[in-house]
Structure 1
Amino acid sequence: MIIGKVYNNFNISNGTDLAIGFTSSAVAVLLFGTNFVPVKKYDTGDGMFFQWILCASIWIVSLVVNLIQNCPRFWPLAMVGGFVWATGNVTVVPIVKTIGLALGLLIWASFNLLTGWASSRFGWFGIDPEEVSRPVLNYIGAGLSLLSAVIFLFIKTEVQSSSASLERTPLLRETSVNASEEISDESWVSRLSPAKKRLIGCSLAVVAGVLYGSSFVPVLYIKDHGRRNETIYAGASQFDLDYVFAHFSGIFLTSTIYFLIYCAVRKNKPIVYPQAILPGFVSGVLWAIANCCWFIANNYLSAVVSFPIITAGLKNYMLLSVAFCIILAGSLSTAFSKV
């Protein structure tokens, strides 16, 4: 009788964990897919100022989360994950200018998925490999996700130049102050042939995806070694949300360093678009909430399951539809491999 009661309690607990994990994943997917919408119609220049505003907003959200969590212990190693993510984030604007946001996001999300899944599944970088109850289904899901990434590379996009878009016309005051900067900012793209734009954009998207997919490794490393008495991380929290502040602090610190280097290279004449500040801040808030949900999903589903779920003319639409069907099948296969 007692055994049956314990078994029922375990099933209830397991079902609750899955519900929380999948709900968090759904929120993360929604916000990751829309976090750049507020800034879409505004010019961000070369992106360095925009990414700094974005990261400042991200850090503010993490500060609130840290207070809600009663200020858990700060592990500096978790900041390394923030450094890795911020390094990948620097490539976003060049990617958008060469292959567009839609294709860029699809490519870096696919490689984000594959890197995060593989590092968790096989125990790369010193973390413990994660087991699933249905490994074949898990591999099928990852394989389908890889196939979708290949399909995305064949989708053709047209990137509208900023000079042709009325939505991106800068203010008169900015034009007079930053005219030379604008010309130099656009010229490096305009001088590239379509083939080179695609090559550079896709390559940067792959690099960004690999960096994004590796950003959770330090947190997983701390958690895994926190279960061992012989390490300096013994007793470390097993709740992923306790590492948000350290992780996001690494993001903000790295973006600040990159922005200062950028200002120095440009001789203290950075390209700044004031009208993009508020949208950039909102974009950062949406991203931060999405990533917090991802931390929660990692806790309740494990990274090997959450990564494939969260990161997942006529010819282009057909290819895109097929790719989405495949990545959806891959995500569902990976998700149910845990059940």
Structure 2
Amino acid sequence: MTIANEENVGLAFGLVIGAGLATALGASVVFVPSLIHLASRRTLAGALGFSAGVMTYVSFVEIFNKSRISFQDSGLEDEKAYAYATACFFGGVAFMVALNHLVTALLGGHHHHSHDDPISRDTRNESRDSSADGRSAHVEPVVEVPRPCPCCSEDPVADLQTIQHMAAEMEHGEHSDTHSSQNGHSHDEEDHAVENTLQVRKDEDAKHLMLMSVNTAIAIGLHNFPEGLATFVATLNDPGVGLVLAVAIAIHNIPEGLCVAMPIYYATGNRWKAFGWALFSGLAEPVAALLGWLVLANSFSDQLYAVLFGMVAGMMVIISARELLPTAHRYDPEDTVVTYSFMTGMVVIALSLVLFVL
């Protein structure tokens, strides 16, 4: 490893930690739930499109080229260097596809399940049946249990509405509890029995939601692992490229933190537990950087840089194409901001790279 690379180690760790902590920024909404209302569909669509533009451009123009050059520096001819870089690129794509299958298996497919959750549907039916029998005119309706992985399903718009609904409940929870206690004295014994039944069902739903939300945090952490390693390796070789990657990753880590923290808080009522699990999912990135440093510190070479850069380029492109852009278009189905934000991200990173070489 060159002296220049050794001097970049501190910066590399700093950028990776900063990108990972962006999940904590998103998770902090549990302390100020009113902030969730600022997250409009267009804002999220634009942020995801911008991040995808940055990652796509830098992967094809800068990172892939660094892979090819590193193969040339290792002694390969130009044609073979290009072929090897291409192979590594698609190797990175294959790695991310395999990792996504692992994440899906870990979540048990829950992030694709129906909006009409059978647990919450049965609970709502029970509440309606009780009211129809005249047994409980005062029982408050049970709120539908939100899906365990908001923002990573096929319908992120509904996920955003679910999270905003949870935030509204968090804001007004104390007032609702006070109101319920004041009216509770008018319920007869049968009303209390119905309420107890509904409360037991609600507690079971909360435990179910908590378990799946923790699985989501772990799965997102696994997904963040290669992003942390990619940012670290890129910064060691070129701080400019590493900075760009860190910013792009941080942008889409913010909503991930939000999506982990809100359901856990909804299930437990514990702000710090929700914040902690979201922080855990983001810390996978600096952990990946640390492990990469410990394993590769004494073995960095032109060949290794070439392979890593090729794979990083492929991983960033598949993340943009398979996750960021599709989600952005679901938030913005009429494409009022996604394409423009995608191109803006490309322009910003292109100008940044030009300034770095001037």
In terms of Rg, which structure is larger?
A: 2
Query: TM class by shorter-chain length?
Result: 0.3 to 0.5
**Normalised TM-score (structure 2):** 0.31
**Normalised TM-score (structure 1):** 0.33
> Between Structure 1 and Structure 2, which shows a larger proportion of helix residues?
2
